[in-house]
C-alpha cells in the first residue's frame, strides 16, 4: 500500500465515523470504499467490521452522561446483543463468499431505503404492548444478528426496537443503542479477527479514521442538516447497490 492509500483509507474512516453519528450508516460509506480499494466483498465486510469497533468505543465513551443509572438495563440486554453478534458473524463465516456477494446489494439497498423513511417505533409497538419484555429481547437479538452479519442501518433498527419497548428520552435510548450495537459489533469483530479474512493493512488506517470521525462527529453533526445527509447517503447507497447487483448477477 502507498502513503496515498493509507491517507485515503483514514479519510474514508473519518467520513464514515461522522456519517455514523448522524444517520447510523457508516458502512454505506466504508464498505463500498473498501471494494473500490480492490477487496473482495467478504474480505471488505469483515475488515470493515473490525475497524468499526473503534467507532463503537468512541460512541459509548461519548454517551457516558446519558448512560448514568442504566447499567442494569445494559447488562440485561447486553448479553443478547453479544450473542446475536456472535451468531451473525458465524453465519457470515459459513456463507460462501459468492453467496455474500449476491446478498450484499440487497442489504445495502434495504438499508438505503430505510434512511429515506426510517421505521417508526410505533410500528413495533403492538407486540411490545402485548409482551413488552419478550418483544424487546427478541428484537434486540434479531437486530444484533444482522449487525454481526453486515450491519448497515443496524443502529437505526436497534433504536427503533428500544423506542418501541422502553419509555425513556431519545438521548438516553440512543446511548443504550450505542453500547448494544458496539457489543454486537465487537463480538463479531473478535470472531472475524480469529477466523475471517481480515486485511489488517487496510483495517488499521481505516480504524484510525473511524476513531477520529467518531470523536469529532457529534460536534459536526450539530451544525449539519441531518435530513439532507440522510437523503444523500440513501441515494449514494442505492447507486452502490445497483452497481454491486450488476456485478454479481450479470
All structural domains of the chain with their residue ranges: 3-249
* C-alpha grid cell, residue 80: 443478547
- pTM, to two decimals: 0.75
What's the CA gap between 1 and 201, in Å, rounded? 8
| Residue 90: burial class (beta carbons within 10 Å; 0-12, 13-18, 19+) | middle
Note the pLDDT of residue 123: 52
In a structure prediction context, what are the per-residue pLDDT tens digits for the chain, which is 250 residues long? Answer: 788 889 999 999 988 887 776 666 777 789 889 998 999 988 998 999 999 888 877 777 767 777 888 788 888 899 999 999 999 999 988 887 677 778 878 877 876 676 666 555 555 544 445 557 788 888 899 889 988 988 766 777 787 788 777 777 777 877 788 889 889 989 999 999 999 899 999 999 999 998 888 777 666 655 666 566 667 667 766 877 787 788 778 7
Q: Which of 42, 48, 249, 54 is nearest to 152 (CA)?
A: 48
- Per-residue three-class SS string for 107-138: HHHHHHHHHHCCCCHHHHHHHHHHCHHHHHHH
Give the CA angle between residues 143, 82, 23 to the nearest 5°.
45
Residue 93 backbone dihedrals phi, psi, to 5 degrees: -70, -25
- Tell me how far CA of residue 200 lies from CA of 55, 59, 91, 102, 135, in angstroms: 17, 23, 22, 25, 38
Amino acid at each position: 500500500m502507498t502513503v496515498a492509500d493509507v491517507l485515503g483509507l483514514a479519510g474514508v474512516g473519518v467520513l464514515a465515523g461522522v456519517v455514523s453519528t448522524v444517520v447510523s450508516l457508516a458502512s454505506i460509506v466504508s464498505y463500498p470504499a473498501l471494494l473500490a480499494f480492490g477487496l473482495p466483498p467478504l474480505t471488505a465486510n469483515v475488515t470493515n467490521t473490525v475497524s468499526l469497533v473503534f467507532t463503537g468505543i468512541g460512541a459509548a465513551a461519548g454517551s457516558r452522561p446519558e448512560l448514568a443509572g442504566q447499567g442494569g438495563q445494559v447488562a440485561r440486554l447486553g448479553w443478547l446483543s453479544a450473542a446475536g453478534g456472535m451468531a451473525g458473524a458465524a453465519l457470515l463465516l459459513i456463507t460462501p463468499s459468492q453467496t455474500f456477494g449476491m446478498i450484499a446489494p440487497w442489504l445495502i439497498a434495504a438499508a438505503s431505503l430505510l434512511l429515506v423513511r426510517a421505521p417508526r417505533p410505533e410500528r413495533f409497538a403492538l407486540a411490545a404492548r402485548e409482551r413488552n419484555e419478550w418483544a424487546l429481547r427478541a428484537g434486540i437479538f434479531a437486530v444484533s444478528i444482522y449487525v454481526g452479519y453486515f450491519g448497515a442501518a443496524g443502529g437505526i433498527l436497534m433504536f427503533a426496537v428500544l423506542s418501541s419497548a422502553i419509555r425513556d428520552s431519545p438521548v438516553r435510548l440512543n446511548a443504550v443503542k450505542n453500547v448494544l450495537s458496539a457489543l454486537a459489533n465487537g463480538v463479531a469483530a473478535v470472531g472475524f479477527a480469529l477466523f475471517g479474512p481480515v486485511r489488517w493493512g487496510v483495517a488499521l488506517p481505516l480504524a484510525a479514521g473511524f476513531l477520529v470521525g467518531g470523536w469529532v462527529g457529534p460536534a459536526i453533526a450539530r451544525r449539519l442538516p441531518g435530513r439532507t445527509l440522510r437523503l444523500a447517503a440513501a441515494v449514494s447507497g442505492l447507486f452502490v447497490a445497483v452497481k454491486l447487483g450488476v456485478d454479481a448477477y450479470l
